[in-house]
Amino acid sequence: MSLPNINPSLTPHWKALQIHFDELIDFDLKSEFSKNPSRAEAFSASFEDIFLDYSKNLINEKTMSLLMGLLKDVKLKEAIEAQFNGDIINQTESRAVLHTALRSNNAIPVYVDGENITPGVAEVKRKIKSFCDQVILGQQKGYSGKSFSDVVNIGIGGSDLGPAMVVDALGFYRNHLKVHFISNIDGDHVFETIKNLNPETTLFVIVSKTFTTQETLTNATTIRKWFLETAPDYAVSNHFVAVSTNIEKVTDFGIEPENIFPMNDWVGGRFSMWSAVGLSIALAIGYEKFESLLEGAGHMDQHFKDTPFEQNIPVIMACLSVWYINFHDVQTEGVIPYSQYLNQFSTYLQQAIMESNGKYVDRNGHKVNYRTSSVVWGEPGTNSQHAFFQLLHQGTTLIPCDFIGFKKSLFENKEHQDKLMANFFAQTEALMVGKSEEEVLSEINQKGMVDKSIVPFKIFEGNRPTNTLLIDQLTPKSLGRLIALYEHKIFVQGVVWNIFSFDQYGVELGKQLASSVLSDFDNLNVSSHDASTAQLMRRYLN
Ligand code: F6P
């Protein structure tokens, strides 16, 4: 079955939501809370250790019921079944979308082109486990007989961002291996990373689904050359492994077949950390904890698949995002984790969300007449409070934000944790309740200030929406759940917007032009380029 193909803007519930938006024009969150003492509980949902409070949103019961109606109109239920069944829902690339199969318990067969893929998934997992165990225990050694101390992941996009984010996020659980990530074709990134590494004790993991990506192949080639400056040729087989679907190209690169960790084309790059692409994660935290990450994600898959939409966390969060983007005309959304470990979470989400849903062509090949993905960004709190929160509180743009916090810290310092979480709760409260003119006046009167000209600058309008995700503790399992939550949110939004979320043709043009610019560097000919680009190239070449 292919995905349903329904223009959401022509559905009854979309139209009803437009009328409803006008009804809510004077909606005031504070008064909604006063009117309805059970508002907080009514707009909350939980699953395992994740609690979502979405009551601080510009919604009422009718909003949610219309949004649920919209999901029926666009046949979300059928779309979810198609995805989990392994149907070819990535139609523009003729592929199934089955990252969920990588974290299921493999008890239920999943068929792609008539073949049960679960035994293959289990086999790759066994290979990852055995390799990681040997490297971590020091049994797998470098060419000079020393154990590995460092791992370098060479990849970009989905072959970098997910693993890099998780390795950072699970820093608390890491073993002795130091894991580095090289992604950018910027040679300074490459040489800065390897400058202090000892080739004798460093393992290189080249990750590229296609094994054709310019950045990864250039970086891998440069690194192999650097490695061979001190190591003998035969040492490449001890020190270089690869993850890819393109076994032929990996072999051509000179990687031994036993050092290849295969992946499948039914896993999209930005959803691939659960496959062998997560090898660096498994090396950093050990295979068992990598399994826990997968398990957490698998639980979220079940929640997404089986829970009624009204209590389904990814579905609720997707609906709220649609409400803001398509009815409030919101263009950007923030994700603010209150954990320094999640420093790279928003960066990772940028690819997952914007490469998936940043599209203006619908499933009929027509230009859409509604917005699709917002711009997603964020930084951990409390740092971000001292950076861009001014704009969240008093700027002219409505920016809905997800706040993500943990009840327990990992090093268990109560003073720090209480202060962190006090900020976490206070910010969403401040964004919602704001501060009125009367409150400001009363404050300055108390201080005995006679000049009242400062008043307008101290007023906070409030009424600014947030979601709060409160999670017990940052563990491999809870992180798996959290990431899978956002993956499913992306899927739901793609279904609503009637776009193909699993291709990425929008990155192709820039790649094509880069290779044309590069060859024109060689022949010193800028004439085929527009005047601005030609001028810049001339300046670079002179
Ligand atoms: O940026 C485009 C893209 O194709 C991403 O979707 C992908 O994650 C990245 O490049 C890397 O691709 P590969 O893993 O094939 O090297």
Q: How far, in Å, is the centroid of ligand 1 from the Cα of 528? A: 28
- Rounded to an integer, what distance in angstroms lies between the CA atom of residue 36 and that of residue 499? 37
Ligand 1 proximity of 183 Cβ (cutoff 6 Å): no
- Shared-domain flag, residues 154 and 210: yes
Are residues 270 and 134 part of one domain? yes
The rounded distance, in Å, linking the Cα atoms of 364 and 264 is 27
Nearest CA residue ID for atom 16, ligand 1: 208
pLDDT of residue 20: 98
Same structural domain for residues 524 and 493?
no
In terms of domains, do 516 and 498 share one?
no
Judge whether 449 lies within some domain.
Answer: yes
pLDDT attached to residue 501:
98
Residue nearest to atom 13 of ligand 1 (CA): 208
Is 99 noted as a catalytic residue in this protein?
no
Whether 411 and 474 map to the same domain: the answer is: yes
- The total domain count for the chain is 3
Residue 504 Cα: closest atom of ligand 1: 6
Predicted pLDDT at 107:
76
Domain boundary among 291, 318, 348: 291
Choosing from 258, 291, 324, the residue where a domain stops is 291
Q: Clarify whether residues 490 and 526 are in a common domain.
A: no
SS (H, E, C) 442-466: HHHHHCCCCCCCCHHHHCECCCCCE
> Cβ distance 440 to 459 under 8 Å?
yes
Q: 496, 318 in Cβ contact below 8 A?
A: yes
What letter would DSSP give residue 139? Answer: -
Query: 499 and 516: one domain?
Result: no
Q: Is residue 253 one of the residues assigned to a domain?
A: yes
Note the pLDDT of residue 212: 96
> Both 285 and 337 in a single domain?
no
Q: Which of 350, 504, 509, 512 to mutate to test the pocket of ligand 1 (most atoms within 8 A of CB)?
A: 504
Give the domain-ending residue among 262, 291, 320: 291
> In this structure, what is the dihedral angle of CA atoms 273, 279, 283, 287, given to the nearest 10 degrees?
80
Q: What is the CATH number of the domain that holds 322?
A: 3.40.50.10490
Q: What is the pLDDT at residue 108? A: 85
Q: Rounded to an integer, what distance in angstroms lies between the CA atom of residue 140 and that of residue 497?
A: 49
Q: How many CB atoms lie within 10 A of CB 295?
A: 17
Q: Is 355 a catalytic residue?
A: yes
Structural domain includes residue 122 = yes
Pick the catalytic residue from 195, 225, 386, 447.
Answer: 386
Query: Cα(165) to centroid of ligand 1, in Å?
Result: 16
Residue 358 lies in a domain: yes
Helix extents (H) in 170-212? 187-194
Let me know whether 447 and 510 are in one domain: no
Q: What is the pLDDT along the chain (542 residues), one digit of tens a residue?
A: 789 899 999 999 999 999 999 999 999 999 999 999 999 999 999 999 999 999 999 999 999 999 999 999 999 999 999 999 999 999 999 999 999 999 988 778 999 999 999 999 999 999 999 999 999 999 999 999 999 999 999 999 999 999 999 999 999 999 999 999 999 999 999 999 999 999 999 999 999 999 999 999 999 999 999 999 999 999 999 999 999 999 999 999 999 999 999 999 999 999 999 999 999 999 999 999 999 999 999 999 999 999 999 999 999 999 999 999 999 999 999 999 999 999 999 999 999 999 999 999 999 999 999 999 999 999 999 999 999 999 999 999 999 999 999 999 999 999 999 999 999 999 999 999 999 999 999 999 999 988 999 999 999 999 999 999 999 999 999 999 999 999 999 999 999 999 999 999 999 999 999 999 999 999 999 999 999 999 999 999 99
CB of 326 closer than 6 A to ligand 1? no
Tell me, using a 6 A CB cutoff, whether residue 159 lines ligand 1: yes
> SS3 sequence, 372-398?
CCCEEECCCCCHHHHCCHHHHHHCCCC
Residue 40: inside a domain, yes or no?
yes
Q: What is the extent of the structural domain holding 429?
A: 8-74+307-503
Does the CB atom of residue 162 touch ligand 1 within 6 A? Answer: no
CA pair distance 130, 152, nearest whole angstrom: 19
Q: Whose CA is nearest to atom 8 of ligand 1?
A: 158
**Domain-located, residue 361:** yes
- Regarding whether 474 and 460 lie in a shared domain, the answer is yes
pLDDT at residue 351 in the model: 98
496 and 440 in one domain? yes
204 and 346 housed in the same domain: no
Residue 141, phi-psi category: left (phi > 0), alpha (psi -120 to 50), beta (remainder): beta
| Gyration radius of the chain's alpha carbons | 25
SS (H, E, C) 406-428: EEECCCCCHHHHHHHHHHHHHHH
Q: How far apart are CA 211 and CA 438, in angstroms?
A: 63
Does any domain span residue 85?
A: no
pLDDT at 213: 97
- Which of 200, 355, 379, 487 is flagged as catalytic? 355
Residue 81 lies in a domain: no
Is 511 an annotated catalytic residue? yes
